[in-house]
């Protein structure tokens, strides 16, 4: 009897797909540990992952790496955890789990329930961020929306490259520490409504949006005696702030969502009209 994953591959069962190529498929776990929990499988049914040929195993991990980059770009987190259990479904698969602490990877944790609408939003957001394209057909509405968006990201984009250098190794201290990640998003030109902003960022429609001035947001990080207590770190934050104010038009911070963890995006328009800057996670209890 085909495994449940083989039935997804064949189209017999539905799934929230995020990436696909000729030999592999990635889709959201319907009983996730956290939002964005993704499964990566070979389309060919193999019960035990280490029964795969070396070539097939290597190709699966290369595909998983591409998907993991998309998950991390769409779901703010410190790392993407990787796990292979091998007992749940008789079909080789890799778990990719957004994590901010080691406990997020504990499979003894209660599984969460994510509404179908949110699962669709997450799948679309991840698929849009998979490097090299997801291999999934774009919905008609999404394709239409992209006709008014800025040009696709250039992998050699100088702005994003500089932001990556400026944010490398930096963490934002709130009630917990979270890394900064350089980002660049296509978005419609002109002033963005909250709905357009959320769509561009892959955030849930209707989520709360709060705008904060960049200097105000970074005030504790740039203070020499502030959160880090390290002058060199404060100076790096000052350099990042200066770059964003000088090189990005209208740079400001968008706090997205409510509750104990809020997604924060510091963004401005680059010369290509894209939204560029960094994102992080704020912990506030």
| Structure tokens, 66 | 């591409």
Q: Would residue 24 show up in a list of annotated catalytic residues for this protein?
A: no
Can you list the pairs that 57-64 forms with residues at least 24 positions away whose Cβ atoms lie under 8 Å? Answer: 59/23, 59/24, 60/24, 60/92, 60/94, 61/94, 63/19, 63/21, 63/23, 63/24, 63/26, 64/26, 64/40, 64/94, 64/96
Which residues have CB under 8 Å from 197's CB, separation 6+? 187, 203, 209, 254
Q: What's the CA gap between 166 and 75, in Å, rounded?
A: 21
Q: Are 243 and 162 in contact (CB under 8 A)?
A: yes
Q: What's the CA gap between 6 and 238, in Å, rounded?
A: 52
CA dihedral for 238, 278, 160, 188, sign (positive or negative): negative
CA dihedral for 110, 115, 118, 123, sign (positive or negative): positive
| Structure tokens, 14 | 């539905």
> Which one of the listed residues 37, 93, 95, 263 is annotated catalytic?
93
Which residues have CB under 8 Å from 8's CB, separation 6+? 14, 15, 25, 27
Active site residues: 93
């Amino acid at each position: 009897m085909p495994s449940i994953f083989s039935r997804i591959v064949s189209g017999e069962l539905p799934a929230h797909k995020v990436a696909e190529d000729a030999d592999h498929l990635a889709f959201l776990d319907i009983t996730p540990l956290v939002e964005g929990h993704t499964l990566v499988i070979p389309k060919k049914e193999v019960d035990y992952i280490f029964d795969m040929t070396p070539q097939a195993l290597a190709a699966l991990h290369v595909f998983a790496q591409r998907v993991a980059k998309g998950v991390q770009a769409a779901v703010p987190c410190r790392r993407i955890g990787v796990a292979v259990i091998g007992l749940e479904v008789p079909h080789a698969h890799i778990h990719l789990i957004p994590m901010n602490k080691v406990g997020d990877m504990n499979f003894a944790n209660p599984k969460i329930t994510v509404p179908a609408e949110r699962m669709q939003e997450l799948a679309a957001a991840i698929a849009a961020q998979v490097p090299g394209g997801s291999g999934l057909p774009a919905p008609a509405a999404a394709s239409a929306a992209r006709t008014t968006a800025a040009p696709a990201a250039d992998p050699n984009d100088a702005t994003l490259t500089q932001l990556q250098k400026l944010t490398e190794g930096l963490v934002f201290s709130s009630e917990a520490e979270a890394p900064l990640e350089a980002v660049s998003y296509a978005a419609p030109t002109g002033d963005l409504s909250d709905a357009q902003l959320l769509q561009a960022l892959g955030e849930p429609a209707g989520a709360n949006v709060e705008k904060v001035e960049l200097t105000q947001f970074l005030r504790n990080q740039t203070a020499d005696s502030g959160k880090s207590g390290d002058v060199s770190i404060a100076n790096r934050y000052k350099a990042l702030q200066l770059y964003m104010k000088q090189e990005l038009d209208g740079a400001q911070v968008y706090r997205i969502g409510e509750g104990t963890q809020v997604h924060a995006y510091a963004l401005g328009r680059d010369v290509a009209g894209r939204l560029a800057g960094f994102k992080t996670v704020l912990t506030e209890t």
